[in-house]
Amino acid sequence: MSPDGVTPDAFRAIVSRLAAGVVVVSAVRRGVAHAATVSSVASVSLDPPLLLFCVHVDARLRDVLDDVDVWAVSVLADDQGDVADWLASPGRPAVGQLERVPHRVGPVSGAAWVDGAVAWFDCRTEVVHRAGDHDVVVGRVQVAAEGAADGGALVHLRGRLRGVR
């Protein structure tokens, strides 16, 4: 139990009731495309336009962000659970992990914009804050684009991915 009286397992179970949008964050380091599924993303500011996401301090993507300061966010559509599952699966290869995910290259980041997503952002890191076992990465939006107007969203709720329209 933590000093605050809430165990990590209890906290995970309770916080799982907080619906969270599911995105793919991607970046390119030394010519290799990296990507990960993330469900802790939020708009921070309109002026300037800022987004944040949280990444585990031991994640491959976190290591990549030490070397590059531009990255992309693809907001997954309600029918893209397979993409989210694949890019969240432990042990997936570091090289070639995006070969099975249709995508195009973001105009500023050079990172993957997942095809069929409902929105895309290219961002440049403004600041990174340590927060427990995760880092909070805040980025300034360089480019943003909207997908199909009738697309739904993919959310994470109670340990499952769910499509919402």
Which three-class secondary structure string do you get for 77-143?
Answer: CCCCHHHHHHHHCCCCCCCCCCCCCCEEECCCCCCEEECCCCEEEEEEEEEEEEECCEEEEEEEEEE
Q: For residues 141, 139, 59 and 102, what is the CA-based torsion angle, rounded to 10 degrees?
A: 0
- Residue 165's alpha-carbon distances to 24, 37, 116, 152, in angstroms, are 19, 20, 15, 4
CB atoms within 10 A of CB 43: 11
pLDDT of residue 4: 74
- Residues β-bridged to residue 162: 155
Our measurement of the distance from residue 55's CA atom to the centroid of its chain's CA atoms, rounded to an integer in Å, reads 8
Q: What digits encode the pLDDT tens for the residues 47-77?
A: 999 999 999 999 999 999 999 999 999 999 9
Give CATH for domain 21-145.
Answer: 2.30.110.10
Question: By C-alpha distance, which of 77, 73, 78, 91 is closest to 37?
Answer: 73
pTM: 0.94
Q: How many CA atoms lie within 13 A of 128 on its CB side?
A: 17
Q: Assess contact for 107 and 122: CB atoms under 8 A.
A: yes
User: How is residue 81 annotated by DSSP?
Assistant: H
Per-residue confidence of the chain (165 residues) as pLDDT tens digits? 566 789 999 999 999 999 999 999 999 999 999 999 999 999 999 999 999 999 999 999 999 999 999 999 999 999 999 999 999 999 899 899 999 999 999 999 999 999 999 999 999 999 999 999 999 999 999 999 999 999 999 999 999 999 998
- Sort strands 49-56 and 134-146 into parallel, antiparallel or unpaired: antiparallel
